[in-house]
Structure 1
Amino acid sequence: MLVSPEGKEFTYTLRFEFSTTNNEAEYEALLVGLRLARDLNIQHLKFKGFEIEHVRRSQNKKTDSLSKLASITFAHLAKEVVVETLERRSIDAEEVNDLYPDEENTWMKPIKDYLAYGILPEDKGDAKKIRIKAPSYKLQDGKLYQKSFLTPWLWCVGPS
């Protein structure tokens, strides 16, 4: 369910064409919610914080009703409830969403130029900085990635 700042609710339920655990279903619901927000052209999703709390079905009747709706026929449902059927797990999909086009003149340009063509800035100080930074970056398919301690590589993006 997405709720607008004005309080309008966008109710959505999923039906899976594959077996899934509760955790996988919640993961799929999160991904579908993010795709729905993108499709509705929502520009800002604000996360001031979050809590994970187990809510019993008896205390969460609206969500429980939505989960049951997905397992029955859809012809009689109101137009306010959107039902989507997922044929495969999102993790299995080969979908890549480029949210913003690559920007030309960003902090990444000197590093990309050096890695791709060996070109350094004319300023000696800037050139030295690029030479020092460059080993922690790699250029793959025109996109810049930086080494990370916690994950394999981080995709570098511009200000947009």
Structure 2
Amino acid sequence: MLKKLVLALVYAARRLKRYFHGHPINVLTDYKLKNVLSKPELSRRLAKWAIELGEHSIEYKPRPATKGQVLADFDMEVPTGKVQERLFEQQPPTTSDESQQWTLFMDGASRREGSGAGLKLINPYGQEFTYAIKLNFKSTNNEAEYEAFLAGLRIARKLGVKFLEARVNSMLIAGKVSGTYEVKNVVMASYLSQAKDLMQQFTSCKVVHIKRSENRPADALSKLASTSFEHMGRDVRNEVLDRPSIPQHHVMVIQTGTVSWMKPLVEYLSSGTLPDDKVEARKIRHKALWYQLHGDILFRKSFLGLLLRCVDAVDANYVIRVIHEGICGLHAGPRMVVAKIMNTGYYWPGMHMDALKEIRNFMLANDTHYGRCDLRMTESQSPQHGPSKSGP
């Protein structure tokens, strides 16, 4: 069985070689493959497979137990607030102002068709007020949740509510408002700052986390607002937000010079730094398989096994001019010029297009000179003069 599992891993590494080279691989298994492959007294076949798998960054982890996941799900279904309500349900309210407390249920939804928010506000006498808000701007699900929360606070403030209890099914909002979760995103930090400013305008405002099953009316309103806003009932108050509730951050881009195409690859190969964009980071990981860094110089691996030195745009232009029109220049087409450059040991992306552009500019700038050369060759080879017998 162990040999079969190791063989399956070897086949996967061969078929998905680019992914095994560019990413760390976690193998979840109940068998001790790591101990088997690390033993010195391996059989001939296992030793060969261990050497082949050794070039990848593979980490063997035990398969997670199903019982732990069941306990985690059960813990989420029975929140701590229910236990506290059971313990203190016999105690009378501490102040008479709690009888004036309003309850806010809210939820946000972001879909491909659009985004929306649903609110249900209940006064101390049990009367319900429902609101549906259409978000006419692109937003994520977390941003829609925050927009619903901020809209509920604004509406409650306009109604003159002093004591408010907001019940949300989003662990993100409940955790960040209480300080349990750390805020790392700039947009989420702006939403949190504005939410705390609105909460300070109430005499008492607290946020309670509830299950999604207890927030079904607000959840349904948010989904209807994001998909069928025009067909809402008359008893639902509608509102449209054309822009986010938080102020937009204006960024001024200052460009001091052209950035070399080698900079992301050098940063990744030297320190493992990748851009924030996941697509660009994945491209750099795949490209880095063809490059090597020696000191501060970047080299490209060729198909023949040689290393080609990478150059930027300024050095590339100089190399093309030296190869094409230098003292021993070829004065040939772009394909021959590129082949000569690679044989010399240089590389950069877009070599053929750069060579074609530089040669074309050279031909246009020296059109008169080439015309004179052609004219002299025609006169020297005319029948009147005759060909020279002593050679060229």
TM-score (norm 2): 0.21
By percentage of residues, which structure has more helix?
2
TM-score (norm 1): 0.47
